[in-house]
Amino acid sequence: MARSTAVGLSAAEVTFIWFLRIISAYCLFFGILYWIRLIGFYDAPLWRFDRMPVYWQVASVMLAVFYPFAAIGLWMLASWGPVIWFICATAEIIMYAGFPELFGYRFTIVVAHACVALLYVAFRLVIFLQKRQAERQG
């Protein structure tokens, strides 16, 4: 904790950094899962690019590329990291909640993305309010 106070970060900001890094690992994991699907490492029907329907090909390729980029951006704390994650999350929510007859209905993925988005907004709000309060006091 002494290190965070030395550079002027609040506890919320340090926790937010760790939150982003955990989500980064989560994105890398999902990216690897999509690559496994694309290369056909897992032996199941439709789990290889040339056997997938076109809608799965498009979704898998897009997410296999975007998830690792989101992971890099989140880990580096770059401003574009959450944006790329949001694109991935939106795509999966649309896939699994909007078109369950094509992609299947994966309630846990939809809820996980919603929870991460809510936590992100809550962190940003708390950090904003803390900075605003510090400016008024300082």
pLDDT of residue 42: 75
Alpha helices in the chain (DSSP H): 2-6, 11-39, 54-75, 80-93, 100-103, 107-137
Domain boundaries along the sequence of the chain: 12-133
How large is the average pLDDT for residues 96-125? 97
Banded model confidence at residue 44, pLDDT cuts 50, 70, 90: confident
Report residue 52 CA to chain centroid gap: 24
Distance CA 125, CA 35 (A): 35
**pTM (2 decimals)?**
0.87
Banded model confidence at residue 30, pLDDT cuts 50, 70, 90: very high
Contact of 27 with 68, CB cutoff 8 Å: yes
Contact of 30 with 65, CB cutoff 8 Å: no
Given a cut of 80, is residue 123 above it in pLDDT? Answer: yes
